[in-house]
Structure 1
């Protein structure tokens, strides 16, 4: 459900007050003395939530995103709870302290109470990356402890905190132990290569603040995250890579090596997805919509997602069972239709999930089973890629591994699409959004289902009702401003009122939303701050429901998408 309380209604005044108070206090803070220390314990959340208390049980330790080390705090507001996490810190009386933390998310607060003088707080309206909050306070004549806290706001998504500091005279409560040289990173893996690049990823090492990347024994780069792409390589050449972890104490030993070979620049056996594309789901079942063979699908569709693959009893494993209701004489006839569509320049992919389908990928074994079985289906039927339409929750960590393994088998020409539900893309902290950004380098398009959801928050913090041009544009803006490339964003809508329980809009509303996002015209009340001419296009559920309406949707939306700038 959409939240009923939103801070944008009154926080402008609160911001002015907080900034004013912050400037006054910071102006009185003197330089740190040599003996000053960070009095916060477990300041980087490397020991989970030790020393911290979170309201409503809404705080948790997370391994991504992190600013330094291997962990950070993730706290999720729920209902009337702002997910406040606090710690009591020992301090000295009549002393000045600088309170700071690195935060990520919308409406994140940092403050201190019980100072014995003037309690302080500061906040950030939001960021998709790490930003630092900082303020200062002075303790009273008899103050020996203060409570520091951080919290989010009503109706907002999860926020993240790392590297908290209460810097000032030693309060005598003890500090975190000095850092030690970290252990070598684990899980080093190579992604899909090109003729000149190799993407690498690894598991964070506890206590690390950075990583060095080695190619054939020579250091080639230093990064702070747990992934990088090594560039400038020769085609069709094998390379060995290792990674070390670093912090202020030194550099770890090298990780286990991984070997990867660059591509040889061979030809692409699959059609290229056009700059602006129309995606449709082809039903491998009969639910009252028009039953049609692949050969009869409107040529307006550029990506045809065959719905759906089936799960086996092995976690993560897929199979495909062609429905006899479709009228194919045999499987070979279906395969022939797939090949004919590809010859016509169309991408035919296998979709995983749907309303009642579910495939569980929550372990290394299930990730490998997913990759192996999906690739086997691509080989057997000629599918050019895979669509992720899992609607019962996903584990982004292991599904990322599964997709990476599949991509390594299928190559750079694999088409990868996703169709998350609206709620799944409300913020960058959701599992679907994390999955999309984790595989951004190989992602074709995310076609969010803007239906069956009710009212939702747009990127401007306002609530919009489904079934309007504002709903389509303000919610697409979340992805466009949250890290996805415009070419990876599509608008998903029902083809007819029979295709979904709610959220159907006429094709003219879809074209208006496309024009608003790409050209800044035909907008409703919401107008984006900039245009996105590279927007990929639109998707519909389903091709069959479109056919039942005489292709009324694709006949309007298709040409409009293909004529976008």
Structure 2
């Protein structure tokens, strides 16, 4: 653990790392500094949006909490660790050679408030909210300043609220962003509405979008987002939403075209199997203790991967670990002891699979039955991929017939088929899988598509919804179902963070996908994987983290909100 700081240690390089190019002049300027006029320049200064909009926190360690607060109903919590001081920053436009006052209310041990490259203040121990305040004067050519809050290494969580930077905004930029175009509703429930729009442009850059419900600010998202979800709405109520873009200097665009939306009436969703079950893999990626994740997120189901073939037509975890007596059985027992359950995933992209190794549907059904009996399962998932199973008509039919057999022999068992997709719905092999499921009367409960690996730069929300809607249309065509019934047999299994093809499914996108799934009462929501549900911005595609900025288990927490 690092040495606890004293008053002389506040100029440590690490503490003030950030905008090295921003220099706040301490020496006298050629002209006397302008006096700041009282006006808070910060976005989301009291965190009342319920998000970190406008702020950036290191290590994904910042969050918004409802208690303890100083004013309003929200505050910032920075979970400083032994290796990260949970530094949260915001950059604003300022005027050169001008006096400003920075203040805020903080609570915790060794909490700092300051300006990167300039002055700061701190408190060693604040058991109740304490006000910190500093004044500074900008340099002769300075047009931006980065303010920061942070705790100290190993000193635990700090809290901050009602932060204020008083003074005139930067006056060099007077050009407002363009109006957000193509606003639309992308999903709704009885209490939420999800919206999207086309990004605005600005001569400097868009820093935020403000979403209004009528004339009231409903929520704010960062300038790189083109979507938002408004919560806390009333059932069966008509609303109208508009969006405005805002830049660093505080210039605001005109309002977008209004989006009229009527929330759902709150009636129960269609009956059927509903499952929020992210993948947990014990084969790599520092698998977390499932009870810890369950306690932190509220998740109840996990999709356990992968069961493959060992010595012919015998099921084993990763073709190596026995069904009973090992870490997999003890993990399933721990999940159930915590009030949850599992659905094993049989197959996957690679490895020695049961489908090709079991020579008949009856033999394959016997292998599935060993897995069902080992754990007393309520559901099984066959992840049918690659040319050895998915793109093989003989093996496709063998899997479908085997699932038909085990469903007949195990009343109440739910069967799931998971397979790849195009951005507009099932491929020709996916279409065949659905058609044969009908022709062979297999009574499959859920058809789940995996909408990722389309290629870098893909619109992951649009592509995912396009794939799901295409699947819905195919299910309607083959089975003669209406929309509601088709959605109730449909699942989505995504990939959190950075995918193999360099696509990015961020927290906001996954939230929108979850909201769309709830609004359409689909059957299943999963992602690959809980092992990767940890932050590592710029970390690439690795097995232990998502490659993006997020909080620990944030995708799992979002998924736990799927109710169908």
Q: TM class, shorter-chain normalised?
A: 0.3 to 0.5
- After TM superposition, the score normalised by the length of structure 2 is 0.43
Q: TM-score, normalised by structure 1?
A: 0.43
